[in-house]
């Protein structure tokens, strides 16, 4: 087979239908980007769930002097702490618990916000401003109502924070974004398939005289279809490359530079997830263009 | 070389068959005219030979192969042994004479060196030497048909099928084309030519197969177009 002829045909085909090819590439680019975004968000949600699933703890803040909660009349007393510990131990949902002192809380906040703000003559907070707390680890992260209600309202308890309440909205928005991306991608994938089909129809029409002669003189089906298949691959490669670039930009500017540095309490997706996503769209892209091409070349170029 | 055994071809949605129990045998090296009115089944017979259509019943053998049993991917190989010429020439308007002829070899994967020697030879054979670089629209009808014949013959096929090759040409030009087909026939190539042209058939005195409503009504060695003439 003469490669020169095939590449000449490929170049002519791409030029002849340049607006259609651009339409295919753009549609493919956007749909693959959205599919990739959905995949990345999915992995982000999994990653966060993995990390938190084992660590989900309920934090019980205990009363301190000058507490925001009016029921707290003074710093929590030792007998009150004993009663709270007893209530937690009796509850089957709690696996273990741990009392955190004011000093530990102070160390934690210093680490989180930077020690320099808590030193010198005018610190943002002192050890005495910190509340004591109890950290309860659950047997099953999904069963927490029992232990929450057991502790709720006991004397010396100021408030209860369930990590889930903080995380649920984040989870929720990741899931919503994911399905939004996939839903939009589904429509665009459909549009891409139809655009490819139309492109081939037009190209086959434009070349019907040549194709007729090729068939007559005994050119093989592969030889006749090859320029079409190569066109499909070229548009797919360009679409995948653009989508990979867009997803790379999302990973760099959205995750790496913003989320991963600003929201450090959460594990963020990185290069491995990006790589697997690119691999997925690198398969999907050519499939999206080759599938209609193979079907339609069988129809229009039948020998 | 070509054999029809009780071949019937019915197109879907039509009542009477296009070919009805046709049995014909064409030997290697023969020159056969296929005559008959429009709709008599000539084109269908040619389409069956090229395996552009398959018989509804009966068997068609071309170049030793039963074409209704031939696998789809082997069809291109069959067609490389058959040259085809049409009334409307079917040249590529954006390619020169030589390129049009070379195209037939390119698409079946012949080497460039081969093409460079075979194409000029074939152009000379059909009487187009010196016109290799002309474009089809610069040529007369007769010359365009010569290009088409060169393209059909450049791969040295065993069979040449011509569907009304003189249908668009004036009588004197037609004579030239017929002489050319005769010369190709003398190289051993079997020629099957469908035509309406009484003058040519009468003049050539070759075998004539006449079709009427899909049936063979006459098969005569050294025949004329019709009894009435």
Domain ranges of chain A: 3-52+167-300, 64-155
Q: In this predicted complex, what is the ipTM?
A: 0.84
- Asked if residue A136 has pLDDT above 60, the reply is yes
Tell me which residue of A218, A303, A207, A212 sits closest to B83, measured CA to CA: A218
Q: Can you give the pTM of this predicted structure?
A: 0.70
User: Does one domain contain both B2 and B76?
Assistant: yes
User: Does one domain contain both B19 and B71?
Assistant: yes
With bands split at pLDDT 50, 70 and 90, how would you rate the model's confidence at B13?
confident
Q: Quick check: B76 and A213 CB within 8 A? A: no
Angle, in degrees to the nearest 10, between helices A163-206 and A208-217:
70
User: Does one domain contain both B77 and B122?
Assistant: no
> Model confidence over A185-244: pLDDT tens digits?
888 889 888 988 888 888 888 888 888 888 888 888 888 888 888 989 999 999 999 999
Specify the residue for token string 């996939």.
Answer: A182
- DSSP reduced 3-state for B173: helix
Chain B touched by A215 (CB under 8 Å): yes
Paired residues of B212 in beta bridges: B215
Residue B30 lies in a domain: yes
Residue B87 lies in a domain: no
Chain A touched by B74 (CB under 8 Å): no
Q: Quick check: A5 and B106 CB within 8 A? A: yes
- Which contacts of A198-202 are long-range, i.e. CB under 8 A and separated by 24 or more positions? A198/A20, A199/A17, A199/A20, A199/A21, A199/A24, A199/A231, A200/A228, A200/A292, A200/A293, A200/A296, A200/A297, A200/A300, A201/A296, A201/A300, A202/A17, A202/A20
User: Between residues 177 and 206 of chain B, which touch chain A (CB distance below 8 Å)?
Assistant: none
Name the burial class of residue B171, with classes exposed (0-12), middle (13-18) and buried (19+) by CB atoms within 10 angstroms of its CB.
Answer: exposed
Question: What separation, in Å, do the N-terminal and C-terminal C-alpha atoms of chain A show?
Answer: 18
Chain A touched by B95 (CB under 8 Å): no
CA atoms within 13 A on the CB side of B175: 5
Residue B146 lies in a domain: yes
Q: Output A142 or B94, whichever has higher pLDDT.
A: B94
Considering only A251-260, B126-135, B145-154, which range has the smallest mean pLDDT? A251-260
Residue B134 lies in a domain: yes
- DSSP reduced 3-state for A122: coil
Residue B229 lies in a domain: no
Chain A touched by B92 (CB under 8 Å): yes
Provide the domain limits for residue B74: 1-81+157-224
DSSP annotation string for A249-301:
HIIIIIIIIIIHHH-TTS----HHHHHHHHHHHHHHHHHHHHHHHHHHHHHHS
With bands split at pLDDT 50, 70 and 90, how would you rate the model's confidence at B68?
confident
Chain B touched by A7 (CB under 8 Å): no
Maximum C-alpha span of chain A: 100
Q: Output B13 or A122, whichever has higher pLDDT.
A: B13
Tell me which residue of B166, B159, B173 sits closest to B32, measured CA to CA: B159
With bands split at pLDDT 50, 70 and 90, how would you rate the model's confidence at B227?
low
The two tokens of residue A131 are 């509340």
Residues A150, A135: Cα–Cα separation, whole Å? 14
User: Does one domain contain both B102 and B62?
Assistant: no
Q: Please give the mean pLDDT across all residues of chain B.
A: 92
User: Does one domain contain both B125 and B168?
Assistant: no
Chain B touched by A218 (CB under 8 Å): yes
Partners of residue B79 in chain A, C-beta under 8 Å: 215-218
CA distance B109 to chain A (A): 5
For testing the chain A interface, which of B53, B71, B76, B104 should be mutated: the one with the most A CBs within 10 Å?
B76
User: Does one domain contain both B66 and B101?
Assistant: no
Chain A touched by B108 (CB under 8 Å): yes
Count how many domains chain B has.
2
Q: Among B50, B76, B82, select the one facing A220 at the smallest CB separation.
A: B76
Partners of residue A218 in chain B, C-beta under 8 Å: 76-82, 108, 155
With bands split at pLDDT 50, 70 and 90, how would you rate the model's confidence at B229?
very low
Query: What Rg value do the Cα atoms of chain B yield, rounded?
Result: 17
Residue B5 lies in a domain: yes
User: Does one domain contain both B202 and B104?
Assistant: no
CA distance B80 to chain A (A): 5
Chain A touched by B80 (CB under 8 Å): yes
Domain A64-155 has CATH 3.30.70.3040: yes
Residues A297, A225: Cα–Cα separation, whole Å? 6
User: Does one domain contain both B69 and B2?
Assistant: yes
């Amino acid at each position: 087979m003469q490669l020169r002829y095939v590449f000449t045909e490929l170049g002519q085909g791409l030029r002849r239908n340049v607006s259609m090819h651009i339409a295919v590439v753009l549609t493919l680019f956007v749909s693959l980007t959205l599919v990739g975004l959905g995949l990345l968000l999915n992995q982000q949600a999994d990653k966060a769930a993995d990390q938190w699933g084992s660590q989900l703890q309920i934090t019980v803040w205990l009363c301190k002097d000058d507490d925001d909660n009016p029921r707290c009349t003074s710093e929590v007393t030792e007998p009150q702490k004993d009663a709270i510990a007893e209530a937690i131990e009796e509850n089957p949902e709690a696996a273990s618990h741990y009392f955190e002192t004011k000093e530990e809380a102070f160390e934690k906040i210093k680490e989180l916000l930077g020690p320099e703000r808590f030193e010198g003559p005018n610190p943002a907070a002192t050890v005495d401003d910190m509340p004591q707390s109890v950290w309860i680890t659950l047997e099953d992260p999904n069963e927490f109502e029992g232990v929450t209600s057991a502790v709720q309202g006991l004397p010396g308890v100021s408030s209860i924070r369930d990590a889930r309440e903080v995380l649920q909205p984040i989870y929720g928005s990741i899931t919503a974004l994911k399905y939004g991306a996939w839903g939009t991608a589904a429509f665009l994938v459909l549009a891409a398939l139809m655009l490819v089909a139309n492109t081939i129809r037009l190209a086959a029409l434009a070349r019907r005289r040549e194709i007729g002669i090729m068939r007559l003189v005994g050119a093989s089906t592969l030889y006749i279809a090859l320029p079409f298949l190569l066109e499909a691959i070229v548009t797919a490669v360009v679409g995948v490359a653009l989508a990979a670039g867009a997803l790379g930009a999302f990973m760099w500017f959205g995750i790496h530079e913003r989320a991963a540095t600003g929201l450090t309490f959460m594990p963020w997706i990185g290069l491995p997830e990006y790589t697997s996503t690119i691999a997925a769209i690198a398969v999907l892209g050519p499939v999206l263009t080759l599938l209609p091409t193979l079907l339609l070349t069988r129809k229009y170029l039948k020998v | 070389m070509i054999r029809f055994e009780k071949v019937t071809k019915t197109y879907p949605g039509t009542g009477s068959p296009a070919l009805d129990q046709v049995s014909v045998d064409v030997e290697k090296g023969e020159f056969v005219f296929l005559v008959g009115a429009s709709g008599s089944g000539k084109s269908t017979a040619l389409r069956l030979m090229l395996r552009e259509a398959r018989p509804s019943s009966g068997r068609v053998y071309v170049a030793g192969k039963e074409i209704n049993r031939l696998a789809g991917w082997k069809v291109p190989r069959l067609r490389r042994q058959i040259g085809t010429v049409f009334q409307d020439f079917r040249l590529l308007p954006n390619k020169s004479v030589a390129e049009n002829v070379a195209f037939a070899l390119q698409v079946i994967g012949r080497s460039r060196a081969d093409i460079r020697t075979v194409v000029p030879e074939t152009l000379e054979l059909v009487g187009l030497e010196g016109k290799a670089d002309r474009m089809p629209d610069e040529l007369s009808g007769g010359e365009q048909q010569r290009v088409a014949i060169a393209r059909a013959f450049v791969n040295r096929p065993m069979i040449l099928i011509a569907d009304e090759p003189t249908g668009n040409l004036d009588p004197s030009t037609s004579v030239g084309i017929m002489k050319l087909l005769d010369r190709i026939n003398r190289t051993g190539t079997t020629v099957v030519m469908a035509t309406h042209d009484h003058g040519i058939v009468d003049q050539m005195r070759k075998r004539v197969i006449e079709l009427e409503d899909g049936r063979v009504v006459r098969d005569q060695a050294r025949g004329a177009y019709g009894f009435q003439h």
